Structure 1
Amino acid sequence: MAISPTESTEVVVVGAGQSGLAASAHLTRQGIPHLVLEKEDIADRWRHGRWDSLVANGPAWHDRFPDMEIPGVGPDDFATKDQMADYFAVFARSIDAPVRTGVDVRSVTPRDGAAGFTVETSTGTITAGGVIAATGPFQVPVAPRIIDEELVPHQIHSAAYRNPEQLPEGGVLVVGAGSSGAQIAEELRASGREVHLSVGPHDRPPRSYRSRDFVWWLGVLGKWDATAPDSDHVTIAVSGARGGHTVDFRELAAAGITLVGRTEPAADGTLRFADDLRRNITEGDDNLLGLLAEADAYCAVNGLDLPEETEVHELGPLPACVTDPVRTLDPREAGITSIIWATGYAQDFSWLQVDAFDAAGRPAHQRGVSTEPGIYFLGLPWLSRRGSSFIWGTWHDAMHVVDHIDTRRRYAQYAPALPSASPLSAPAPRLLEEISR
């Protein structure tokens, strides 16, 4: 559907991923006219922005909208990326979301002399009373320029990785050992590649414990509702692959993956790694054991008869690559021909030209309601709580944002009643009768 040269609506939602569709569902329920503009296709990052074997990191009973289950996926199974993309497309149809795909939002600016905003797009101009930025946290892949391509010729971000066959022959250094990096390294090693995995600070929860998935434990222990990170690093190493499993760096080392510390700038023709591997591994172990202890205490206090798993507490010795770590490496001698940077993403709101950012350029908001009246954010990590960037979390954040929009809308629509005649200037008939007596 083409956009006319000039058009007006109450709310423009930018992005048709999980956050944009959640916003659309709540806007529709409140009867608020809106448009959802998407540069690519619905849930395009799920379908085209991930590697081939990716699955959701949470079980299907948890990682979904509360209004609809994931078709064809068991509640305790992990949906593939295409199943997730299909899920969001079906959901959009089910709520008749006014999504327009292939529309690139180029700028949002305050209207001159009028309330609301001018939204310039690749297919026309729209005026809107409010704008919801629902483009999510995965906008611009970030890879530090610390290793020259003359040293390792083939370097890509994990966003561009699809499968082992895509890479040239030879070994691979995977930088970053969160969920993405750990899963990619495991897949590459299973394909027969020699793999080095650069491990930074991370949290390492159990995939499941005492017959409950870790997402359930985070829920009953109140950790999803945490409003600020409890440490400087929040990378989570957990996997939904192969039916879901705990990321165990000891097992990865036993499978032939060489663990190394945080990657530092190369020098003198060698790759260099920080002397922090042992600390990163043991702090990840402490995070695991701490969560297990909290889960055990919860069972005891609440009288839950869940099967005990004492063996999970026994981690075993650290592998040799951790106790005697590699600090420097000649990639030519080691046969490393590729680097995959699983180093996260940066946000890009250059199109949003409004007063809704702090001095460092970060969105300035409270639970998604920005400092610029009429501008909102959804899908950002820790928008309101730990769960904000997850599917179910953004649903609840969207509910709050749309409630705020509806409240502003009601104020804007208010008009005082017409003044009525004063009782003194127009006495009631009975009073007139009394006065006449």
Structure 2
Amino acid sequence: MSTHDVEVLVVGAGQAGVAMSEHLSEGGVPHLVLERDRIAERWRTERWDSLVANGPAWHDRFPGLEFSDVGPDEFASKEQVAGYFESYAEKIAAPVRTGVEVTSVRRNADGPGFTAETSEGTVRARFVVAATGPFQRPVIPPIVPEQAGVQQIHSSSYRNPAQLPEGSVLVVGAGSSGVQIADELNRSGREVYLSVGPHERPPRSYRGRDFCWWLGVLGLWDAETPPSGAEHVTIAVSGAHGGHTVDFRALAAEGIHLVGMTGSCTEGRLSFADDLATNILQGDESLRDLLDAADAYVDRNGLDLPADPGARAQGPDPQCMRDPLRELDLAAAGITSIVWATGFAVDYGWLQVDAFDETGRPDHRRGVSTEPGVYFVGLPWLSRRGSSFIWGVWHDAKHVAGHLMTQRSYLAHDAARR
């Protein structure tokens, strides 16, 4: 086992770690990026086979490199995204070591900096950047007991319809992942139930511009805090099949059984909240609000963008909204599997420093931790709404690197005076 000294240790070589490496290199800061698997591993092995990015290639990229194999208005596949980050790391000569797991990081008791224990030895660093992202521990609510006799997997473990046993499927969660998985299962011929909670439902495009563009010009990507009560509301948008606006009424018309939020399970009977119509109507309202803001922007700036009345078209409310299903006998409905598209929890068990709040979440401001010398990159709402998108990660990393380099300059000044 070896011991290695480095000024900055970056843990994780996904989009956050690669972005951080670029900004540190530009600042001339010696650093090392450790990744337990491969670069952008989660894009490869924790996504379903047909996944594409939810933003177009012109938007979901770093400024220094375009996709070589995806048109600007197209949506990159998961393999193309992973390949993009590999190419980017090679382009910037990022000092990445793959296949090395960081098992612990502790502050040094007898001097400045930190000591990291890894699967290949010890690393001593003056600064540590946690770039492991938000998708660390899949969350499956303890609702349906194992004895219910259905296979239960998280969306991060779902690959394709053939993976699941024959029979009907319940998908819980109607954000981008849940909607796309439910649609794929339905197209494969499965009978599908989709549990729909609160969500925002932006248009895929409007008046000839993608919703990513609209959120940009309207300043919505720069919102620094989520609206009150909407900290965990999911976004229902899809880049699948060339990109389209998610329409729950259309999904119902195509045969998907929509139900409210999943409640409890007793003796094989699963209950649902009486909130399906409310959740869908609130999603409709979020769409109309964005369309109204876009129209006002067009008028205010005198833009020649074509009217798009079809974006406001709305089909009739399906029976499931008017008379919602409140309980489902899993066996009688033929449900043999449940896909939980219910998000993730962070897991920083390896980072054993005083940088977390009472809930175990990182305690930081724009990625600058309450523990001096420790930084976070790649978390949703790290600095703004756009933080969860690829381009947002790049800008967050630039800010974090700038703060780190400022601290480094103070330390260098102090050392020079001694």
Instruction: Give the TM-score normalised by the residue count of structure 1.
Output: 0.94
- TM-superposition CA deviations, 1:58-96 (whole Å, max 9, x none): 000000000000111100000000000000001111111
In 2, the alpha carbon distance for the partners of 1:62 and 1:363 equals 28
1:218 equivalenced with 2:206 (yes/no): no
Give the aligned partner of residue 298 of structure 2.
299
Q: Which residue of 1 aligns with 2:343?
A: 344
1:359 deviation in Å?
Answer: 1.9
Question: Highest CA radius of gyration, 1 or 2?
Answer: 1
2:324 aligned counterpart, secondary structure: coil
Question: Could you list the runs of 4 or more consecutive aligned residues of structure 1 that deviate by over 4 angstroms after TM superposition?
Answer: 415-419
The Cα shift of 1:268 comes to 3.4
State the distance in 2 between where 1:39 and 1:271 align: 39
Counterparts of 2:15 and 2:315, CA distance in 1:
40
Alignment of 1:193-204 (within 5 A): 193-204=190-201
| Cα 1:277/1:33, change in 2 over 3 Å | same
Query: Which of the residues 64, 75, 80 maps onto 2:77?
Result: 80
1:133 pairs with 2:97: no
Task: Tell me the secondary structure at the aligned position of residue 104 of structure 2.
Answer: strand
Q: CA offset at residue 415 of structure 1?
A: 4.9
Which residue of 1 is the match for residue 115 of structure 2? 118
CA deviations 1:282-314 (Å, max 9, x no partner) are 000000111111111110111011111112212
Residues 30-429 of structure 1 aligned to structure 2 (within 5 Å): 30-233=27-230, 234-415=233-414
Deviation at 1:148, TM superposition (A): 1.6
Secondary structure, aligned partner of 1:238: coil
Amino acid at match of 1:16: A
| Structure 1: stretches of 5+ with no match in the other structure | 420-437
Aligned to 1:6, which of 3, 13, 31?
3
Equivalent residue letter for 1:70: F
Query: Could you say which residue in structure 2 is the equivalent of 1:434?
Result: none
Q: Is the contact made by 2:268 and 2:331 (CA closer than 8 Å) also made in structure 1? A: no
Amino acid in structure 2 at the alignment position of 1:256: G
CA distance in 1, matches of 2:416, 2:3: 34
Structure 2 residue corresponding to 1:22, chosen from 7, 19, 29 = 19
Q: Give 1:113 shift.
A: 1.5
Counterpart amino acid of 1:137?
A: P
Structure 2 counterpart of 1:422: none
**In 2, are the aligned partners of 1:152 and 1:336 still within 8 Å (CA)?**
no
- Are 1:64 and 1:392, in contact at CA under 8 Å, matched by a contact in 2? yes
**Cα distance in 2, alignment partners of residues 91 and 311 from structure 1:** 39
Q: Distance in 2 between matches of 1:249 and 1:385?
A: 28
Q: Aligned Cα RMSD in Å?
A: 1.2
5+ long unaligned stretches in structure 2: none
- d(CA) in 2 for partners of 1:418 and 1:34? 25
Amino acid at match of 1:99: V
User: Given residue 337 of structure 2, which amino acid in structure 1 is its aligned partner?
Assistant: S
Offset, 1:405 = 1.1
The normalised TM-score by structure 2 is: 0.98
8 A contact 1:58–1:240 mirrored in 2: yes
Alignment partners' CA distance in 2, 1:96 and 1:214: 33
Determine helix, strand or coil for the equivalent of 1:393: helix
The answer to whether the 8 A contact 1:250-1:318 is kept is yes
| Equivalent AA in structure 1 for residue 305 of structure 2 | L
Greater mean deviation of Cα atoms: 398-407 or 195-204 = 398-407
SS at match of 2:393: helix
* Inter-CA distance 379–416: structure 2 relative to 1 (3 Å threshold): closer
For 1:276, the aligned partner's letter is D
Q: Say how many residue pairs are matched.
A: 416
Shift in Å at residue 230 of structure 1?
1.0
Structure 2: distance between partners of 1:33 and 1:270 = 58
- Please tell me the residue identity of whatever aligns with 1:6: T
1:5 Cα deviation (Å)?
1.2
User: Residues 236-256 of structure 1: CA distance to partner in whole angstroms, max 9, x if unpaired?
Assistant: 000000000011001100110
CA contact (8 A) 2:272 2:325 kept: yes
Match of 1:424 in 2: none
In structure 2, what is the Cα distance between the partners aligned to 1:320 and 1:6? 65
The separation in 2 between residues aligned to 1:280 and 1:398, in whole angstroms, is 35
Amino acid at match of 1:15: G
Distance of 2:346 and 2:310 partners within structure 1: 41
